[in-house]
């Protein structure tokens, strides 16, 4: 890889809804400065623009015309953007969601770095976690990635709960093909499953600054459980606060945010970035 290729300037986007307080711009741009790469990271907030996932073709076309080198993708577009891309990485296709799109010579290719980002953050947070029965709230784009990650880490049983039961069922069928030795199921409500759960993954937008609240009845939590969160703004969500108050070990969404960003940025700049430096910068931010 040539030095000139690495130093080329980049213009990157983030497509999502309610992303006005995202830390991605500063996380990416700060690391780019350390690498000596001119780098601009721009938010495309669907809510602010009065747009929805149906406008994704227009947004992608505009990015190409304006010279964007790529974009990250978050709720609610991680699955909807897939059929619009020229190519999708095999692993992202298996997960069924894309959070990183590289634009090169007018063509788009999608990747998923949420998977590795969540896995790395989880391993650091609770390295000895009991994975015998994991309950996960959310089966959307982020949920597909976290489900694959926890199964790859050795979960023996995974129970999915989603407000759209058909979406959870679809993810179950896809996961069973990839992880035939695990018990994977979908249920309409988490109450019964939580009785035997050893851990809980929260993979919905609830708890974000734009979507405050609790995603589950706190009475279903037990002190012997671990709780992992994907929301990172605020870093301590209401779910994590309640879980910690009763003695649960917890993993906040910061690890996933940092490590997925680092992996995505490596696609954007065609070279390595410093994961630990990005983690240190993230921890220094006022994320609450």
pLDDT of 3 over the 50 cut: no
Query: In order of start, what are the domains of the chain with their CATH numbers?
Result: 3-112+256-284 (3.40.50.10860), 115-252 (3.40.50.720)
* pLDDT of res. 140: 94
From the CB of residue 168, how many other CB atoms can be counted at a distance below 10 Å?
A: 23
End-to-end CA distance of the chain: 39
Phi-psi group of 57: left, alpha or beta (phi > 0 → left; psi -120 to 50 → alpha; rest → beta): alpha
pLDDT digits (tens, 9 = 90+) for 9-50: 999 999 999 899 889 999 999 999 999 999 999 999 999 999
Could you confirm whether 78 is annotated as catalytic?
A: yes
Closest among 18, 11, 9, 71 to 40, alpha carbons compared: 11
* pLDDT of res. 281: 95
Closest among 143, 65, 122 to 249, alpha carbons compared: 122
Active-site choice (8, 64, 78, 109): 78
- pLDDT (mean) for 152-159: 98
* pLDDT of res. 21: 85
- pLDDT (mean) for 138-149: 96
- The Cα–Cα gap between 137 and 139 comes to 7
Return the DSSP state at 30.
H
- The Cα–Cα gap between 38 and 150 comes to 36
- pLDDT (mean) for 202-208: 93
DSSP string computed for 180-248: TTSEEEEES-SHHHHTT-SEEEE-SSTTBTTB-S-SS-GGG--TT-EEEE---SSSS-HHHHHHHHTT-
Q: What's the longest Cα–Cα distance across the chain? A: 57
pLDDT digits (tens, 9 = 90+) for 58-106: 999 999 999 999 999 999 999 999 999 999 999 999 899 999 999 999 9
In which band, very low, low, confident or very high, does the pLDDT at 285 lie, cut at 50, 70 and 90?
A: confident
* pLDDT of res. 209: 76
**Distance of CA 125 to CAs 89, 99, 119, 157, 225, Å?**
28, 23, 10, 20, 14
Using DSSP bridges, classify how beta strands 100-104 and 70-73 pair: parallel, antiparallel or unpaired.
Answer: antiparallel
- The Cα–Cα gap between 208 and 60 comes to 26
Return mean pLDDT, the chain. 94
pLDDT of 288 over the 50 cut: no
Strand partners, 15: 44, 73
* pLDDT of res. 4: 41
- The answer to whether the CB of 73 falls within 8 A of the CB of 60 is no
186: phi then psi, degrees, rounded to nearest 5:
-125, 140
- Structure tokens of 163? 């407000």
Write down the pTM of the prediction: 0.91
In which band, very low, low, confident or very high, does the pLDDT at 5 lie, cut at 50, 70 and 90?
A: very low
- Structure tokens of 231? 């929301």
In which band, very low, low, confident or very high, does the pLDDT at 286 lie, cut at 50, 70 and 90?
A: low
Closest among 170, 98, 179 to 139, alpha carbons compared: 170
- pLDDT (mean) for 142-163: 97
pLDDT of 211 over the 90 cut: no
Strand residue runs (E) in 80-192 = 87-88, 100-104, 107-111, 134-137, 157-161, 183-187
- pLDDT (mean) for 198-204: 97
| Position with higher pLDDT, 223 vs 6 | 223
């Amino acid at each position: 890889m040539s030095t000139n290729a690495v130093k080329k300037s980049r213009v990157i986007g983030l497509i999502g809804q309610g992303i006005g307080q995202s830390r991605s711009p500063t996380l990416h741009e700060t690391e780019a400065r350390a690498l000596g790469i001119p780098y601009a990271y721009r938010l495309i907030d669907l809510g602010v623009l009065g747009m929805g996932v149906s406008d994704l073709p227009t947004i992608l076309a505009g990015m190409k015309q304006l010279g964007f080198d790529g974009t990250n993708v978050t709720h609610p577009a991680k699955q909807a953007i897939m059929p619009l891309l020229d190519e999708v990485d095999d692993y992202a296709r298996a997960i069924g969601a894309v959070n990183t799109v590289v634009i090169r010579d007018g063509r788009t290719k999608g990747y998923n770095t949420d998977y590795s980002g969540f896995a790395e953050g989880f391993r650091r947070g609770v390295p000895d976690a009991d994975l015998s029965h994991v309950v996960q709230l959310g089966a959307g784009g982020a949920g597909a990635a976290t489900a694959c990650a926890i199964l790859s880490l050795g979960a023996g049983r995974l129970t999915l709960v989603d407000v759209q039961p058909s979406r959870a069922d679809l993810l179950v069928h896809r996961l069973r093909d990839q992880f035939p030795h695990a018990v994977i199921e979908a249920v309409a409500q988490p109450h019964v499953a939580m009785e035997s759960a050893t851990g809980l993954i929260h993979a919905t937008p609830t708890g974000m600054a734009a979507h405050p609240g609790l995603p589950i009845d706190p009475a279903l939590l037990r002190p012997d459980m671990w709780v992992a969160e994907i929301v990172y703004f605020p870093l301590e969500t209401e779910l994590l606060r309640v879980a910690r108050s009763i003695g649960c070990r917890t993993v906040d969404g910061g690890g996933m945010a940092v490590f997925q960003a680092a992996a995505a940025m490596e696609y954007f700049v065609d070279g390595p970035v410093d994961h630990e430096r990005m983690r240190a910068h993230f921890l220094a931010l006022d994320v609450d």
